[in-house]
Amino acid sequence: MRCILLFISMFSVLCLSAQNGKKVYADFHGVRYTRQHDGKLGRWEMYANTEKSSTGRKTLCYNADLIGDEGRHEIAAVAYPLVGMQSNLDPDYIEYQILSAKAAKIDGFFIEWGFFPHENDILLRAMQKVAEKYDFEIGVNWCDGWLYYDWITKIYPEINSRETKTEYMAKCYQYLVDSVFTGSTAPIVKGMPVFYHFGPGATADEYRKVLSMVKLPQGMKQPVTLRRWADWGKLENNQYVPVTYSEKMEAWKALGEIPTAWLPARVRARDQEHAKWDNYATQEDILAFMTPFRDSIWHSNNPMYTIKSGFAMPGMDNSGCAGWGRGHFFYMPRNNGETYESMWKYCMAEKDSLDMMFIASWSDYTEGHEIEPTVENGDRELRITLKYAAEFKGETADERGLALPLMLFQLRKEARFMEHLKMDFTACHRSLDKVGQLISQGRYPIAIGLMNQIQKDIQQAKSMMKVDMKRLRESDMGIKGKRKSGGYSAKQNLSISLPKELVGQLQRNHYVGYLYFEYLDNGNEPLFIRSSTTRTPKELFKIVGRIRTDNTGEWKKAKIELYKDNIVNGFNMPTFYMKGNVIVRNLSLGYTIYSVK
């Protein structure tokens, strides 16, 4: 035993000696929700006019409530999460993301954040709660432009001028000092708190006023600010030429902010090979974009540059938002991971000059530069991250941990599903908590062994389940509504009632259900499917699904999941109500009902 303890002690010393203090952070984009967890969808859905685009595409219409033939939701993205469409506020999903990032040697997330009480602040606090369990850091990518739009005025009408917004920005900075830059999850590099300043809100003069109003706790070092520098540049003789000097950036540097890269410029105009996008960049352009940072920041002896950050991103395809509704489609190729790897290689050639790496992004599915594992790309970007983050930190890369957070997530969801059948899974959850700690600590073989045992226990519990399948056609339901064009008009109220026997079965047992129908895709009209609910806020949770038509003139199929926790299945009353200037037909319902034998 003494020899074992000595070995463990020596191993710990070796691990500590390999750590060189360098950090890796990833931008985190949100907020994305689900009907099941939150009663809404957030950034998973998107409707926008894109007539300004040169591509000829007139609209975006991503109905994330709809489920396609492959079982995937119609999300606003070109890639689909490997773990499926989840809520950013679900602690199980947060755990999955944090442990996946840690397995790839990412030290923390910088949440895209504008002000409190914006919804991203709720995300920030939810992330901190889980991160604290796993020695993970949570910082901010401060998008203070959100504060200087009218978003804050909608919450606080009295904050309606640049002066009042600047005063409120100082309160937000103080909030970050007190709640983010201190504590166990604070992002710390070289002993200093750090954050990314995206802008484009306050001017340099306004920000100087903000700084003068903030009070730091005794002994706390001034937070280091990495300022987004992403000027466009130009093409000369078909070669990308980056911007090397900016008067605006000089003003920010005078305030102590350090120029740091963001998504490279896309200056090439749409051509035959890139007909789906208004502008694009090549892999060569992307690396050329990085040269001013290498030459003027990383190689500089300026003592003001207290933290120098490299930058990497995997590519970009913003077909999910087209510039957030501004009608501009951008593209940078992933090249099967080569773009992302080339950016890491570029930075690793200068690793002795760098203190940290910043990745854009972990989760921006809408702009298409996520590195979170997807159906299309697998965990390729995580493997690349692990390889070079380990090199950057002088540590060993261990790929065995990359798949384990997904296994843990799936086991948690299976356990929670079984709890709906009134089974006691308290001990199982304790074991899963232990698995999370083992993954976080890099003790992967022990985590795998424990999960294998948990899987056996869950399978044994599943053997006690009884499954009953129900399928209802229109003739099996009580449908009240106006007939039109071979279907039903939902312009007034269209209601659906269920047979009493089925209602009783649904009330007594857990189920997974789906509503199926076809809708005539005319105009740009919203169609709501609602139910009674006991969950609050009721205005959110009573929405079973929402569809917006896209004026194709076609009949389109719809499949929407039904969540028992959200829906009241009552006697002598309709279960579903459909409302919107839309015609529907071929309605049906499918239920898989679970009980204990």
What are the φ and ψ backbone dihedral angles of 527, each rounded to 5 degrees?
-125, 120
Mapping DSSP onto H, E and C, the string for 221-271 reads CCCEEEEECCCCCEEECCEEECCCCCHHHHHHHHCCCEEECCCCCCCEECC
Residue 230 · residue 281 · CB < 8 Å: no
Helix, strand, coil: what percent of the chain each, to 5? 35, 25, 40
Residues of the chain with CATH 3.20.20.80: 20-75+84-396
The answer to whether the peptide bond before residue 475 is cis (omega within 30 degrees of 0) is no
Tens digits of per-residue pLDDT, 386-398? 999 999 999 999 9
Taking each helix axis from N to C end, the angle separating 91-103 and 119-131, rounded to the nearest 10 degrees, works out to 60
Whole-angstrom distance, CA of residue 396 vs CA of residue 408: 23
Residue 548 · residue 536 · CB < 8 Å: no
Amino acid identity, residue 162?
Answer: R
Beta strands 23-28 and 108-113 are parallel
Whole-angstrom distance, CA of residue 86 vs CA of residue 130: 16
Whole-angstrom distance, CA of residue 360 vs CA of residue 370: 7
Residues of the chain with CATH 2.60.120: 467-596
For position 19, what pLDDT does the model report? 75
Class of domain 20-75+84-396: alpha beta
For position 507, what pLDDT does the model report? 97
pTM over 0.85: yes
For position 16, what pLDDT does the model report? 39
Gap between the terminal Cα atoms of the chain: 48
Amino acid identity, residue 590?
Answer: G
String of DSSP letters for 406-457: HHHHHHHHHHHHHHTTT---HHHHHHHHHHHHHHHTT-HHHHHHHHHHHHHH
For position 211, what pLDDT does the model report? 97
Whole-angstrom distance, CA of residue 362 vs CA of residue 353: 24
User: How many residues are present in the chain?
Assistant: 597
Using the structure block, give the residue that is written with the tokens 């409707």.
Answer: 47
Side-chain half-sphere exposure of 268, counting CA atoms within 13 A: 22
| Residue 453, Cβ density class (10 Å: 0-12 exposed, 13-18 middle, ≥19 buried) | exposed
Instruction: Indicate the fold that domain 467-596 takes in CATH.
Output: Jelly Rolls (2.60.120)
Whole-angstrom distance, CA of residue 38 vs CA of residue 535: 10
For position 8, what pLDDT does the model report? 39
Q: What is the mean pLDDT of the chain?
A: 95
> Which string of b and e fits 574-590 if b means at least 16 CB within 10 Å?
bbbbbbbebbbbebebb
Using the structure block, give the residue that is written with the tokens 């056996």.
Answer: 456
Whole-angstrom distance, CA of residue 242 vs CA of residue 352: 24
For position 14, what pLDDT does the model report? 39
Amino acid identity, residue 18?
Answer: A
List the chain residues with pLDDT less than 70.
1-18
Going by the DSSP 8-state scheme, the letter that residue 73 receives in this structure is: B
Q: How far is CA 500 from the centre of its chain?
A: 41
For position 485, what pLDDT does the model report? 87
Beta strands 465-472 and 356-359 are unpaired
Q: Where are the alpha helices (DSSP H) in 268-403?
A: 283-289, 291-293, 322-325, 338-348, 380-393
For position 493, what pLDDT does the model report? 86
As a dihedral over the C-alpha atoms of residue 325, residue 326, residue 329, residue 332, rounded to 10 degrees, the angle is -100
